Amino acid sequence: MEALVRLIGENQVFLFMLLFARLSGLFAFFPFFSHMSIPISIKTALTIFMVIFLFPLVPPLHVTPSLLSLSLAVTGELLIGFVAGLFLTIVLSVLQMAGMQISNVMGFTMASVIDPQTSTSIPLVSQFLSLIGLMVVLAFNGHHQMLLFISDSLQVMPLGSFYPQTNILSYLAKAITNMFAYGFVLSFPIVAISLLLDLVFGMLMKTMPQFNLLVIGFPVKIVVSFIVLVAILSSMMLIFKKEFLEAINHMTLLFVH
């Protein structure tokens, strides 16, 4: 093995390992690529294929070849994938947040399913919106944008040169705050209609005591909420697409020293 390393070149082996670490972050943390339904063997094979494909684009090594520097560089490369994937996951979580609020007003809070991407239990409406959002990402080639980000990062941020910066933490804090705000904005039409229906049902129960809210009220609220959801679904996805593209653009700016 040592003879093979000497034959290929120590710097080339280090570059290959660092590039493999950076691309591993792509398939471990980025939306769609990190989906739990994709077997680990497939992810590993795709990572190795991408390493071989992008290796000619890698600039010379900027790290002194040593065990400590290599360990820190590999950690930094994995951190790139984690932070960048977190940026995009927060945008995808906006749809889940909106789905939770919609499920709450529709009475679907107990109707939960297992999210195959995160292996957590989320409301049914949140799962539905997340899958639609993932299809929108694929429709406008968002997965290609993620691959281009990794490819472009090799030139603007050479392997082994990444270190966390304060602007990344400030952006994450702002993104998490906006996640709750945009989640409420996307779900507001259905929440407002639900509150209006509650007001109407309350007036009906005062004027017509024989009105059975459990038998009539809840099915009506669910039907009306679904009609409003279908009507605003395209607008929700347009807002989601805009925020997703902005997150990809911010990734490029945040990782440039």
Centre a 10 Å sphere on the Cβ of residue 251 and count the other Cβ atoms it contains: 22
Helix axes 142-156, 218-254, angle to 10 degrees: 20
Range of the domain at 156: 2-254
Give the predicted TM-score (pTM) of the model: 0.79
Reduce the DSSP state of residue 34 to 3 states and report it: coil
CA distance 116 to 38: 10
Walk along the chain (257 residues) and give the pLDDT tens digit of each residue.
454 444 456 667 788 888 888 888 878 788 877 777 778 888 888 888 888 888 887 777 766 666 777 777 778 788 888 888 888 888 888 888 888 888 888 777 666 656 656 666 677 788 888 888 888 888 888 888 888 888 877 777 777 777 777 777 788 888 888 888 888 888 888 888 888 888 887 787 777 777 676 677 777 888 888 888 888 888 888 888 888 888 888 776 666 65
Is there a contact between 77 and 166 (Cβ–Cβ < 8 Å)?
Answer: no
Q: How many domains does the chain have?
A: 1
Residue 214: DSSP 8-state: I
CA distance 98 to 245: 19
Is there a contact between 17 and 55 (Cβ–Cβ < 8 Å)?
Answer: no
CA distance 160 to 149: 16
